[in-house]
Copies of this chain bind each other. A is one copy, B any other.
Amino acid sequence: MLNTPQDSPSTSTGTKALSDIRILDLTQFEAGPSCTQMLGWLGADVIKVEPPGMGEQGRRASTDSPEVDSVYFMLLNANKRSLTCNLKSEKGKDIIRALIAESDVFIENFGPGVIERLGFSYEEVSRINPRIVYAQIKGFDADGPYAKLLSFDNIAQAAGGSLSVTGDADGRPLTPGVNVGDTGAGLHCSVGILAALHQRERTGKGQRVLINMQEVVINFGRILYAAQAIFGRAVPRRGNSHIMGAAAPCEVYPCKGGGPNDYCLIYSSRAGNKQWESLLKVMGKEELLGDPRFASPQLRYDNSAVINEFITEWSLQRDKYECMRILGEAGVPASAVFDTMELYEDPALRKQGAFVTLPHADRGDFTMPGCPVRMSDSPPTPFAAPLLGDGNDGILAELIGLSTQDIEELRRDKVI
């Protein structure tokens, strides 16, 4: 059977970290789903609630084929069961109320005000189940001037300062290509949910966890405020230079191949000279050891034009992997600029579980990034994103005790 959990490898306890936790998941797109996917990877039973018919909007977002669920959806909804439920119908609301009573966590990331209009505010949900942890992800603080504005990853990154420090000094602000706002919010929310579950062990009570994406992005940029304190002004864009300034080399250097990602990032820490001296030795530039122009990280930064020139000469003679290997073994911080295809096809990353291949009913074997949290007593047992409504029968029978006939009726009435 496809899309079901694989057997766990044997462990000392035989269960996963969160195997006693049930999550009623009303989220969509990335910020919410990335949170519940993480909790699902760690063993929680995630019930993904979706509108009957089309399902969550992400199922059809940027798809390569309208006949099957989008890859985008697959990447964010592993380790979940799908329940279709029309939240606007009274019978649908009854189902949700019954499931609230059976769940440990309720989570949503609708636009401002939506969940309250649906009748599932914190007050209403916690009245049904005082033990429930009620989690929400919003774009901005609910009492601030932007409370009613829509948010997406790039909006949150602009609002949280990330764009202002990404790009070249003479260029416009740029959006980082990774989703600090969305997945970052999902991770903060996971932390809050788990902390609230921990507190519940003592208090017997749930509570509300609230995340706003603007503050999430500010948290990822917290050390910028050290640079600001030193410069006495807003932190500028600096290309690939360290945001605190005062370190060189700190740049991507072109390597053999000439492709758009044939570069190696080479860095020498702003704490001392050891890595710099290792770099000179491995590049055969011993004559510069002790050169007063390069005697400190700050001086190297001031003279980085000279440094960049001889490093480029060296890097252009090798491919990026060789640069990374030679420098890395010499104790110089360096990494090839890996592109997504290289990561996806890397056998070592497959072997370590950074990418996992999961069977899916419509797509066959599907490969995606796995769970980066490794736990010795809670091994990853990933399974692919659910087909729409694949959990309906099981969830409604097991958890609410509905009969086959009840379920058939709900289906006929388009409640599920």
The answer for the CA separation of A57 and B21 in the assembled complex, in Å, is 40
The answer for the CA separation of A178 and B76 in the assembled complex, in Å, is 23
User: Chain B residue with minimal CB distance to A241?
Assistant: B175
On whether the beta carbons of A146 and B328 are closer than 8 Å, the reply is yes
On whether the beta carbons of A141 and B348 are closer than 8 Å, the reply is yes
The verdict on A236 contacting chain B, using a C-beta distance below 8 Å, is yes
The verdict on A113 contacting chain B, using a C-beta distance below 8 Å, is no
Q: Which residue of A146, A195, A354, A369 has the most chain B CB atoms within 10 A of its CB atom? A: A195
Least distance between A248 CB and chain B CB atoms (Å): 13
Q: Of the candidates B72, B244, B265, B370, which one forms a contact with A226 in the assembled complex, judged by CB atoms under 8 Å apart?
A: B72
Q: Of the candidates B15, B145, B180, B229, which one forms a contact with A180 in the assembled complex, judged by CB atoms under 8 Å apart?
A: B180
8 A Cβ contacts from A270-294 to B: 270-271, 275
Known: A70-B226, A163-B261, A196-B375. 17 other contacts (CB 8 A): A15-B199, A16-B199, A38-B191, A62-B227, A64-B230, A75-B223, A144-B351, A149-B333, A149-B334, A150-B331, A164-B340, A166-B177, A173-B263, A199-B375, A207-B376, A207-B378, A235-B339
The answer for the CA separation of A250 and B381 in the assembled complex, in Å, is 37
Contacts of A242 in B (CB 8 A): 154
Contacts of A34 in B (CB 8 A): 222
The verdict on A174 contacting chain B, using a C-beta distance below 8 Å, is yes
8 A Cβ contacts from A139-191 to B: 141, 143-146, 148-152, 154-168, 171-180, 183-184, 187-191
The answer for the CA separation of A413 and B183 in the assembled complex, in Å, is 48
User: Chain B residue with minimal CB distance to A197?
Assistant: B198
Contacts of A246 in B (CB 8 A): 62
User: Chain B residue with minimal CB distance to A269?
Assistant: B152
The verdict on A394 contacting chain B, using a C-beta distance below 8 Å, is no
Q: Of the candidates B180, B260, B338, B376, which one forms a contact with A236 in the assembled complex, judged by CB atoms under 8 Å apart?
A: B260
Contacts of A217 in B (CB 8 A): 178
The verdict on A205 contacting chain B, using a C-beta distance below 8 Å, is yes
Known A178-B217, A267-B155; judge A369-B225 contact (CB<8 A): yes
User: Chain B residue with minimal CB distance to A221?
Assistant: B178
Among A1-9, A81-89, A95-103, A208-216, the stretch that binds chain B is A208-216
Contacts of A269 in B (CB 8 A): 152
The verdict on A352 contacting chain B, using a C-beta distance below 8 Å, is yes
The verdict on A53 contacting chain B, using a C-beta distance below 8 Å, is no
The answer for the CA separation of A146 and B328 in the assembled complex, in Å, is 8
